Amino acid sequence: MKPFHPLIVATTSAARRQMMEKAGLKVHFQPPGLNEDALRQANVGLDGKCMAQTLADAKASSIITPDSIVIGADQTLELHGQLLTKPKAMVDARQQLKAMRGHIHHLHSAVSCTRNGQLIYRHVETATMRVRDFSDDFLESYLAHAGPTVLHSVGCYFYEAGGIQLFDKVEGDYYTILGLPLLPLLAFLRNAAMIAA
């Protein structure tokens, strides 16, 4: 049996790291070598799907190691056609959650793979999330319990934890919601003989 290509994941995301590890993939993790804020500014005007794919492409392309497959992923949140960014302080998180209350938003999760700096795979999926019309008391309780960790998420929630209480309807793949369309990625890696089929 021929050896598989080494897999490198360009990420600092704990959620994506856990997804890869729980899937049983043997991968190495490296921080992507790019300024994400500058890249977003340079691509203002892109819709949520295109922005997520652009960021994933850039992450995967930021690491070049001969004969390795580099995986990059990113996610954007689109509310009323506008892309949101991570809140900088708890007061911003409170405002953002109030703006999301009672409304639908879309999570666009993209993944890209490169070999020797060349894109060989890209894919984006969307999950539709409806935030319930929660009370102000619930909001304060939620923020007190979650604490500053909400500042690490563009939506101010971690769906796999207490953030699930924010929603009354969700359409989309679980892994897409967490920030990585894992099933399509695994299918690509298998079909390309990069992992065992």
Catalytic residues: 74
User: How far apart are the C-alpha atoms of 80 and 60, rounded to whole Å?
Assistant: 29
User: How far apart are the C-alpha atoms of 78 and 120, rounded to whole Å?
Assistant: 27
Exposed (0-12), middle (13-18) or buried (19+): which is 19, by Cβ within 10 Å?
Answer: buried
Q: In the block, which residue shows the tokens 């409304």?
A: 103
What are the residue ranges of helices labelled H in 127-197?
Answer: 136-146, 174-178, 182-191
What are the residue ranges of helices labelled H in the chain?
Answer: 14-22, 36-42, 48-61, 90-100, 136-146, 174-178, 182-191
In sequence order, the 6+-apart residues with CB closer than 8 A to the CB of 23 are 182, 186
